[in-house]
Amino acid sequence: MLQALANTLPHFRHTNSGQFFLMAGPCVIEGEDMALRIAERIKHMTDKLQIPFIFKGSYRKANRSRLDSFTGIGDETALRILQKVGREIGVPTVTDIHESSEAALAAEYVDVLQIPAFLCRQTDLLIAAAQTGKVVNVKKGQFLNGEAMQWAVDKIRQSGNQHVILTERGNSFGYSDLVVDFRNLPAMREFQVPVVMDVTHSLQRPNQSSGVTGGQPALIETIAKAAIAVGADGLFIETHPTPATALSDGANMLPLDQLEALLVKLTRVRQAIQERGDVELNQLP
């Protein structure tokens, strides 16, 4: 599954390393210098650890609780920055789209189009993304189980695009919390697509009285380790040099200077699982 994905993405390196891949970057593109700086630092880490890396950044935030929340620096300005990151840093890029009319525009600048969780059932949006020929990453809705994502995969494939990723990001738990059901990861892998764990968004605390989403970043390592342990193909982690000053979703982002240490631990988890699997296979009669 990962090799098929790699064949569609420029600069998608180390695909035979046995590692998970990483989608990481800031929640939203805040400016060119910051985007390039974050991408360069993550690429340095992932090259060292042989982790395939896709740079993530939203060019616009459409789903905001409050009218005065930051939404972006301008669509084409942010998309050009994503394109520059891809070219100068040498990595694939991913951004989310929210309406069918955005698909063709975003596809001119990035390698992967992401469908937000709340929109994963929007047929016209899925078709428009599929018809660009880009890889389409669909986040599982907070209101669905893993098995229900079959229909999103079918819509994309039946629109002529076989390049699909599915991402788990938790399920609604009450009105203001999320819970991760790790059964969803193997359930979605049954559709023969790479499956990603969105570590940071699954730790959100939505619908706070302030109108600003909260989070539990202290649990990022816990969720990431568990996802690797149950066989996630990739991890999605939003990161920022100073989450407290981030213009969007700072409450659940990982400080950039903590990312490398986390990735080292996760590669050891993946290695231990692979070694254990090899031992068990060798013991079969």
Q: DSSP for 36-78, please give it.
A: HHHHHHHHHHHHHHT--EEEE-BS-----SSTTS---S-HHHH
What pLDDT is attached to residue 245?
Answer: 87
Q: Which residues contact 181 (CB under 8 A, 6 or more apart)?
A: 145, 146, 171
Could you list the residue range(s) of the whole structural domain that residue 153 is in? 2-282
What CATH number corresponds to the domain at position 70? 3.20.20.70
Pairing verdict, β 178-179 and 234-240: unpaired
What pLDDT is attached to residue 277?
Answer: 64
Determine contact, residues 46/17, Cβ cutoff 8 Å: no
Give the distance, in angstroms, between the CA of residue 7 and the centroid of all CA atoms in the same chain.
19
What pLDDT is attached to residue 209?
Answer: 45
Instruction: Give kind and range of the element (H or E) at residue 268.
Output: helix 259-282
Three-state SS at 85: helix
What pLDDT is attached to residue 124?
Answer: 98
Determine contact, residues 178/172, Cβ cutoff 8 Å: yes
What pLDDT is attached to residue 244?
Answer: 87
Instruction: Give kind and range of the element (H or E) at residue 107.
Output: helix 103-107
User: How far is Cα 241 from Cα 144, in angstroms, rounded to an integer?
Assistant: 33
What pLDDT is attached to residue 224?
Answer: 97
pLDDT in tens, the chain (285 residues): 777 778 888 787 766 667 899 999 999 999 999 999 999 999 999 999 999 999 999 998 776 555 556 566 889 999 999 999 999 999 999 999 999 999 999 999 999 999 999 999 999 999 999 999 999 999 999 999 999 999 999 999 999 999 999 999 999 998 888 999 999 999 999 999 999 999 999 997 765 545 455 567 799 999 999 999 999 999 999 999 999 888 876 778 899 999 999 999 999 999 998 887 654 545 545
Q: Is the pTM of this model over 0.85?
A: yes
Strand runs labelled E in the chain: 21-25, 53-56, 93-96, 112-115, 135-139, 164-168, 171-172, 178-179, 195-198, 204-205, 214-215, 234-240, 254-255
Instruction: Give kind and range of the element (H or E) at residue 226.
Output: helix 220-229
What pLDDT is attached to residue 7?
Answer: 83
User: How far is Cα 258 from Cα 11, in angstroms, rounded to an integer?
Assistant: 25
Terminal-residue alpha carbon distance, the chain:
28
Number of domains in the chain: 1
- Give the pair of three-digit tokens for residue 231: 């066989």
What pLDDT is attached to residue 153?
Answer: 98
DSSP H helical segments within 135-178, as ranges? Answer: 150-157
Task: Enumerate the β-bridge partners of residue 165.
Answer: 137
Q: Is 281 exposed, middle or buried (0-12, 13-18, 19+ CB in 10 A)?
A: exposed
